[in-house]
Amino acid sequence: MDIATIIGIIVGIGAISGGIILLTPDFAMFGSISSFAIVFGGMIASVSVAFPLAEVLKLGSAMGAVFKGGDLKLGTVVDDVVEVSGVARKGAAELEKSVSEIKNPFFRDGVQMVVDGYGADEIIDILETRISYREVRERSQAGLFQTMGVMAPAWGMIGTLIGLVVMLSGFGGGGGADALGSGMSAALITTFYGAVMANLFFLPMAAKLNSRLTHTSTLQAMIVEGARLIHQRKHPLIVREKLNSFIPPKEWKREGE
C-alpha cells in the first residue's frame, strides 16, 4: 500500500472535518444524498461519454494502482544488473542459470532474450516497444482521473444551478423558508462536493499515476541499457558507471555498497 496516498487522504478529510466542526456543531448539514448523486452520477456519466466502456470498467483497477505502493528504487536495480553482468562474463550457461533468480519480470525477459541469442538491436526494439505501450495504458488511466477531476466541479456547478432554480422558484411560488433553505443548501453543497472530489481525490490520483509512469519509464529504460551491456559482456564496473547516469548523483551505487 502507498502510505503517502492514504495519509494524504486522511489528513485532507481531517482538515475539512475539523474546519466544519470548528464553524458549526451541526455536521449533518453538510450531508446531502441528492447533491452527491448529482455530482458523482453526473461525473460518471461524463466519463462514460468521454472514454470507451472498457476503460470506464477498469476504474476499480485504476484506483487500485493509485494505492499500490512499493516503487522499486533505481539503485536496487543497478545492483541487480551489475550482479547479472558479472555472471554473464562467466558464460552463457551460467547466465541461463541465473535467469530464474531475477525478480523484476521486465529485466528477466531482457536477460532471457540475451540467453536465447537475440541480437542487441532486437532486444532493445522489443523492450522499448513494451515500454511505449505500457505508457499508453498508464496515461489512459491517468487521463481517466484527470477527466473526473475536471468534471466533478463542473457537475457541482450544475447542481448549484439546480439549487438556485429551486430557491428562486420559492420566491415566486410562495414556497416559504423551507424551499429557500433547501434550494440554497443544494446550490452550495453540490459545489462543495465537486471541489472536494476533484482536489482531494481525482486530480491528485492523476498526478500520482503520472509520477509513477515517469519513474517506471526511467527504471525500464535503465534496464534496457543494462540488457544491452550484458549482451555485450561489459565489465560490471562499466555497467555500474553507465547505469548510475540514470539516477541522481547522491544516489549513485558504488562497488561494495
Q: State which residues form the domain around 5.
A: 1-29
Tell me: the pLDDT tens digits for 114-141?
999 999 999 999 999 999 999 998 898 8
Looking at the fold, whether 16 and 61 belong to one and the same domain comes out as: no
CA distance 235 to 230: 9
SS3 220: helix
Q: Give the side-chain half-sphere CA count within 13 A for 205.
A: 30
8 A C-beta contact, residue 226 and residue 110: yes
Looking at the fold, whether 159 and 241 belong to one and the same domain comes out as: yes
Least confident among 7-21, 108-122, 175-189, 243-257: 175-189
Looking at the fold, whether 87 and 191 belong to one and the same domain comes out as: yes
Looking at the fold, whether 109 and 137 belong to one and the same domain comes out as: yes
Tell me: the pLDDT tens digits for 56-106?
888 888 888 888 866 677 888 888 899 999 999 888 888 898 898 898 899
Q: How does 52-79 read in b/e, with b if 16+ C-beta sit within 10 Å?
A: eeebeebbeebeebbeeeeeeebbebbe
Looking at the fold, whether 115 and 186 belong to one and the same domain comes out as: yes
pLDDT given at position 172: 58
* Region 24-49 average pLDDT: 86
* Region 196-213 average pLDDT: 92
Place of cell 447533491: 35
CA distance 51 to 58: 11
Looking at the fold, whether 35 and 21 belong to one and the same domain comes out as: no
Domain count, the chain: 2
Looking at the fold, whether 2 and 36 belong to one and the same domain comes out as: no
Q: What is the DSSP letter of 119?
A: -
Looking at the fold, whether 169 and 82 belong to one and the same domain comes out as: yes
Looking at the fold, whether 171 and 250 belong to one and the same domain comes out as: yes
CA distance 213 to 219: 10
Distance separating the N- and C-terminal Cα atoms of the chain: 28
Question: What percentage of the chain reaches a pLDDT higher than 70?
Answer: 90
CA distance 175 to 205: 42
Looking at the fold, whether 2 and 53 belong to one and the same domain comes out as: no
C-alpha cell at 125: 526494439
| pLDDT of 251 over the 80 cut | no
Looking at the fold, whether 7 and 109 belong to one and the same domain comes out as: no
Looking at the fold, whether 50 and 70 belong to one and the same domain comes out as: yes
CA distance 219 to 72: 8
Place of cell 472536494: 196
